[in-house]
Amino acid sequence: MRLTTKRKQILDLLQNTKAPMSATTLSECLPDMDLVTIYRNLDLFTQEGLVKRLQFDDEALYEFQETPHHHAICENCQKMIHFSVPEKQLKKLIVLEGFDINSIDITVKGNCVHEAS
């Protein structure tokens, strides 16, 4: 893949923003780029494994993951927690006869627990 100026702009933005972003948010930050270009490049990055595509309800978010990890989302405040679990242990838990697991993505939904003061 050739790293054109446009591609670099999108990648840099994803890398510098610590949170996953939707294509719409990206296009708001990159007003010179049209949405089609952004989508096309996001697809390319996903295929190349540079960026992870996360599907949350009806929204797709794109995240630059330095290390592979999973997500927990609070259904009240939408806060997102990034966490990792040893992949070996996960694979042991999921028993699928005649199936080789390549990757596992976990999205946990719940609520933030606020300590009573």
How far apart CA 48 and CA 87 sit, in angstroms, is 21
6 vs 82, which CB is nearer to Zn ion? 82
Q: Using CB under 5 A, which of the segments 9-17, 36-44, 56-64, 84-92 binds Zn ion?
A: 56-64
SS (H, E, C) 31-74: CCCCHHHHHHHHHHHHHHCCCEEEEECCEEEEECCCCCCEEEEE
Is residue 70 a contact residue for Zn ion (CB under 5 A)?
no
Among 67, 82, 107, 109, binds Zn ion (CB under 5 A): 82
Is residue 53 a contact residue for Zn ion (CB under 5 A)?
no
- Least Å distance between CB 73 and Zn ion? 11
How far apart CA 83 and CA 15 sit, in angstroms, is 18
- Least Å distance between CB 108 and Zn ion? 12
Q: Which residues make up the interface to Zn ion (CB under 5 A)?
A: 63, 82
